[in-house]
């Protein structure tokens, strides 16, 4: 649906500024189970696939899908988003580094086995707002599917009140290993603390789904190494996510160190279980400090997500693209869900074919590749109080004028201009 026009915006540009639909971040994961066994589906779909093969292009039925696009999964980074205030208020570089580490650990999702999100279509976008307590302002999120082959999603977060922004891109690579599926989470995260001119570059471990063919215990776990590097403060963390193993070990265990980059000198040990308690040990004093307590964070630092209302969702917004498919999944109608999923995918192919026939080069609406670098930067222009402002570095929209009243539910922000949708005509091309 088209958004209402605004006198503050140039002709032909729609204003998207209201975020009034309040939801739990994990809302989609409470959809009813289809009753179809993942083991049965895996044996049918992956039966002839060679070990180690990239299975990006394997098409799965709607019966094993959650009603949410993987583009929307970027919300999970804000599931304990109140930790951002701790980062902004930390007094020393070491304290800020520790709080960034805490925020990263808190963002790891506990997914339910046997379900996966939709694969976003090229040009799909997602927007959300997170309203913090007290005077910590509002964090905005923009995500976009910037590539289809290979699939790459770009995400931008910004909280001007706290002076924190984040740009990231994710290139998932699923590989089949018989009874397990490895999802390599390629790409990097760049988190910027604007008031300190510090940038933290973060990499992610892989995700493993074990027991997909019915052998052994079914579980999802992160396995491998994650790094956090801040060259300005000369600090780096290496965190090893350990596999439980069949007979020993603890699920979701982590270990690692925080070290000086230049000298390699280790300063802190990291140990614990990321969905229970993670502890820092000062190697000079041997003193233990609790870095992260999962239950306490869920209780004290969880956030709701605020979404745009239906009338202000772009045609290529995840919530609009997958609306019919999600409705079918929520009412337990797998046949209709498969039909709607096929409708979206057929429309995507038709749009791509039409674009190629006309010689039109597709470009992302919100992001652009970093020149001579890795990843994507947020390129958007903001209309703020009637004036166009060109963004720089990682900074998105300057100084949201947001002063909520006690009875306000939602967020009403200065207009965000939306370029013409790269999927214009989606509904016209899609049958039904």
Whole-model pTM: value is 0.84
Contact 155, 167 (CB under 8 A): yes
Nearest of 232, 235, 143, 153 to residue 188 by alpha carbon:
153
pLDDT at 245: 65
Alpha helix segments (H runs only) across 17-61? 38-46
Name the strand (E) or helix (H) holding 236.
Answer: strand 235-241
Identify whether the C-beta of residue 121 lies closer than 8 Å to the C-beta of residue 145. Answer: yes
Integer Cα distance of 187 and 169 in angstroms? 5
Answer whether 159's CB lies under 8 Å from 50's CB: no
Q: Determine the pLDDT at residue 54.
A: 83
Rounded CA-CA distance 343/355 in Å is 18
| Spans in the chain with pLDDT lower than 50 | 1-15, 381-432
Q: How far apart are the first and last CA of the chain?
A: 17
Residue 193 to residue 156: CA distance in whole angstroms: 14
Closest CA to 393 of 372, 370, 414, 415: 370
Please tell me the distance from the alpha carbon of residue 397 to that of residue 161, in angstroms, as a whole number.
11
Instruction: Give the list of residues 6+ apart from residue 133 with CB closer than 8 angstroms, or none.
Output: 82
What are 234-279's pLDDT values in tens digits?
999 999 999 876 556 788 999 999 999 999 999 999 999 999 999 9
């Amino acid at each position: 649906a088209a958004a209402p026009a605004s006198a503050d915006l140039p002709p032909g540009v729609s204003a998207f500024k209201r975020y009034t639909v309040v939801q739990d971040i994990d809302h989609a994961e409470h959809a009813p189970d289809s009753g179809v066994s993942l083991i049965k589906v895996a044996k049918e779909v992956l039966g002839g696939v060679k070990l180690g093969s990239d299975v990006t292009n394997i098409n799965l039925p709607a019966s094993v899908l959650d009603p949410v696009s993987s583009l929307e999964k970027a919300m999970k980074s804000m599931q304990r988003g109140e930790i951002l205030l701790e980062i902004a208020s930390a007094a020393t570089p070491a304290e800020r580094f520790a709080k960034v580490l805490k925020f990263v650990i808190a963002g790891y999702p506990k997914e339910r086995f046997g379900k996966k999100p939709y694969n976003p279509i090229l040009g799909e976008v997602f927007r959300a707002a997170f309203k913090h307590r007290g005077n910590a302002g509002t964090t905005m999120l923009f995500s976009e599917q910037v590539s289809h082959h290979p699939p790459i999603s770009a995400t931008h977060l910004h909280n001007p009140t706290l002076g924190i922004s984040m740009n990231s891109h994710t290139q998932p690579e699923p590989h089949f290993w018989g009874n397990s599926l490895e999802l390599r989470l390629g790409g990097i995260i760049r988190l910027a603390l604007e008031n300190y001119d510090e940038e933290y570059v973060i990499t992610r471990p892989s995700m493993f789904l074990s027991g997909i063919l019915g052998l052994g215990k079914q579980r999802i776990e992160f396995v491998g190494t994650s790094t956090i590097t801040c060259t300005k403060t000369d600090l780096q963390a290496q965190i090893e996510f350990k596999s439980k193993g069949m007979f020993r070990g603890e699920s979701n265990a982590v270990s690692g160190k925080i070290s000086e980059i230049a000298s390699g000198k280790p300063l802190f040990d990291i140990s614990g279980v990321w969905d229970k308690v993670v502890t820092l040990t000062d190697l000079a004093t041997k003193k233990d400090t609790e870095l992260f307590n999962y239950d306490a964070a869920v209780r004290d630092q969880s956030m709701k997500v605020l979404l745009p209302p239906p009338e202000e969702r772009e045609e290529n917004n995840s919530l609009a693209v997958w609306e019919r498919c999600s409705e079918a999944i929520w009412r337990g109608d797998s046949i209709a869900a498969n039909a709607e999923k096929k409708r979206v995918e057929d429309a995507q192919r038709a749009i791509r074919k039409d674009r190629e026939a006309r010689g039109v080069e597709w470009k992302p609406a919100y992001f652009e590749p970093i020149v001579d670098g890795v990843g994507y930067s947020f390129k958007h222009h903001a209309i703020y109080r009637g004036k166009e402002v060109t963004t720089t570095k990682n900074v998105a929209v300057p100084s949201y004028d947001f002063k909520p009243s006690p009875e306000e539910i939602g967020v009403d922000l200065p207009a965000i201009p939306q370029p013409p949708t790269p999927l214009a005509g989606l509904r016209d091309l899609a049958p039904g």
